[in-house]
Amino acid sequence: MSQPNFQTMSRKELHAYVLAHREDQEAFYAYVDKLYTEASWIEMPPLQSLEDLKNYPEFLEKFGNGSEPQDNAV
């Protein structure tokens, strides 16, 4: 059986493949690489309190208005 081309798979397709083939380390590493290259997260230091969130308006803008993430695969 031939290996699928992980580079041509979408993040959602690759996520489903990794879940179905948990022993496939190459697929897992391709998935992690894709997550890293598509980096849709916001980096920020640990919060000391909930009030610290107001110091990160880009975080509140992205997640504070109840919007759904673009890809629910992660």
Could you tell me which residues come within 8 angstroms of residue 35 by beta carbon, excluding any fewer than 6 positions away? 11, 74
The pLDDT of residue 17: 97
Digit-coded pLDDT (tens) for 25-45: 999 999 999 998 987 777 778
| Integer CA distances (angstroms), 11 to 1, 19, 23, 63, in order | 22, 12, 18, 21
CB 27 within 8 A of CB 18: yes
**pTM of the complete model beyond 0.75:** no
Question: Span 38-57, mean pLDDT?
Answer: 81
Closest CA to 70 of 10, 9, 6, 5: 10
CA gap 3, 38 in Å, rounded: 23
